[in-house]
């Protein structure tokens, strides 16, 4: 059970109070926990997911909107998102990308289609979100980006079964550091968090057991812990963590 202390920051103390946050992939997994925690901290949320409008009502959120969209490519996603934001009449102060398909297979088994999907979804989409929203954040002198990498993608490593996924996720470090550098003078910050194996509804029982066996504790992280720790990094004025690539893997060393 997820029993982390949830007393602080509260709605009254969070710098997110009254802000508008976009959570891409916000209706499931770590993204769902992020949406719930943002709501607890007083943010208004636009929750994205393939079936966000069906799932969000059961998440006990405060003020929120939903954006139902399947991902095919970054340009189409951004066009659909722009249309939804036009209807809402607001631009996000906080952009969180907790979305990204995962495929596990040896390098020689990846197809061109695998490489295309994993790169577009895990690197090009976060990059497109940064390019789309960075100018507006600079203009209003506030913005926060939070990107989610993969386990051990805080640096360059070899991977026997996740090379395509990890290669794309490793690139997020360049993106976050570039956003941080460009936004430093304008109160715009970006952080990458690389969680360890985490318990979500997307994993079957066999995968959960296998992933848990890779951790020092033999257990999976809880999404709520990951969400709270990740948001704490950017829920600050000033955001001195900007540009950081932070591992939350408990020392995983497979």
Residue 11: the pLDDT is 60
Residue 5: the pLDDT is 45
Closest CA to 229 of 196, 188, 184: 196
Residue 95: the pLDDT is 98
User: Residues of the chain whose pLDDT is less than 70?
Assistant: 1-12, 254
| Cα distance between residue 97 and residue 57, in whole Å | 21
Contact assessment for residue 93 and residue 14, using Cβ atoms and an 8 Å cutoff: no
Residue 219: the pLDDT is 84
Residue 3: the pLDDT is 40
Q: How many CB atoms lie within 10 A of CB 113?
A: 8
Residue 115: the pLDDT is 97
Residue 12: the pLDDT is 67
Give the Å distances, CA to CA, from 137 to 15, 147, 200, 206, 243.
15, 16, 32, 43, 16
CATH of domain 20-248: 3.40.50.720
| Cα distance between residue 65 and residue 44, in whole Å | 8
pTM: 0.92
Contact assessment for residue 197 and residue 220, using Cβ atoms and an 8 Å cutoff: yes
**Domains of the chain, residue spans:** 20-248
Residue 9: the pLDDT is 57
198: three-class secondary structure by DSSP? strand
């Amino acid at each position: 059970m997820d029993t982390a202390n949830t007393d602080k920051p509260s709605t009254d103390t969070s710098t997110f109070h009254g802000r508008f946050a976009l959570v891409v992939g916000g209706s499931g997994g770590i993204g769902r926990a992020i949406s719930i925690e943002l709501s607890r901290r007083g943010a208004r949320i636009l929750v994205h997911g393939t079936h966000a409008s069906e799932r969000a009502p059961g998440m006990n959120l405060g003020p929120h909107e939903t954006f139902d969209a399947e991902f095919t490519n970054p340009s189409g996603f951004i066009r659909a998102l722009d249309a939804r934001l036009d209807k809402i009449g607001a631009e996000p102060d906080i952009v969180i990308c907790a979305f990204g398909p995962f495929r596990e297979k040896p390098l020689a088994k990846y197809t061109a289609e695998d490489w295309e999907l994993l790169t577009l979804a895990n690197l090009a989409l976060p990059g497109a979100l940064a390019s789309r929203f960075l100018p507006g954040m600079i203009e209003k002198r506030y913005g926060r980006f939070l990107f989610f990498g993969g386990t051990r993608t805080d640096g360059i490593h070899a991977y026997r079964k996740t090379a395509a996924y990890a290669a794309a996720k490793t690139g997020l470090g360049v993106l976050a550091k570039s956003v941080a550098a460009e936004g430093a003078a304008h109160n715009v910050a970006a952080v990458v968090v690389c969680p360890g194996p985490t318990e979500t509804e997307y994993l079957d029982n066999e995968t959960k057991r296998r992933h848990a066996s890779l951790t020092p504790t033999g257990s999976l992280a809880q999404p709520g812990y990951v969400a709270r720790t990740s948001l704490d990094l950017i829920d600050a004025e000033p955001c001195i963590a900007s540009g950081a690539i932070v591992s939350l893997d408990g020392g995983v060393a497979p």
